[in-house]
Amino acid sequence: MGSISGIAFGLIAGVIGWTAAEFFGKPIRRGIDLVLDARVEVVRHGNEPALTLGRTPIGPKSEHERLKKAQDAFCELGAKFHAFAKTEYIATRALSLLGLDLLEAATALIGLSNTMHEYGSASAMFFDRVEHALRFKRD
């Protein structure tokens, strides 16, 4: 009888452990991976030059293509942050305990993608908001 209760306890503990890892650990890990992706994109595209002055495009076409890729990357990342923050409530709350504001990061990334082509302070403000929300500084 003792061995049967030991096996049952082991199975129950295994199910509880798997459930905790699946429903809490994996979403938190995915959130941390999103933060890592944001860091990579900020390092990769953080120094793209603004290429419009008012409504006038400036700079070579190759620069406009690079800027478009950067805008697309930030927009997609912002959408992923938004979807994650709205669907993974427990993971989002757990990450907020570490000082990460994923919904603010989503808003800032999308705002950045919409303003980084223009000269002015708007894109700098959105970069600052991303840094603050995800607790990192651009190098």
Angle ∠(129,134,72) on CA atoms, nearest 5: 70
What per-residue confidence (pLDDT) applies to 30? 95
Burial of 109 (0-12, 13-18, 19+ CB in 10 A): buried
CA-based R_g, the chain, Å: 21
Residues 6+ apart with CB under 8 A from 31: 84, 88, 91, 92, 94, 95, 100, 102
Tens place of pLDDT per residue across the chain (139 aa): 568 888 877 778 787 777 777 778 899 999 999 999 999 999 888 888 777 766 667 777 778 788 889 999 999 999 999 999 999 999 999 999 999 999 999 999 999 999 988 877 788 899 899 999 999 875 5
Q: What is the pLDDT of residue 55?
A: 66
Per DSSP, what are the bridge partners of residue 56? Answer: 53
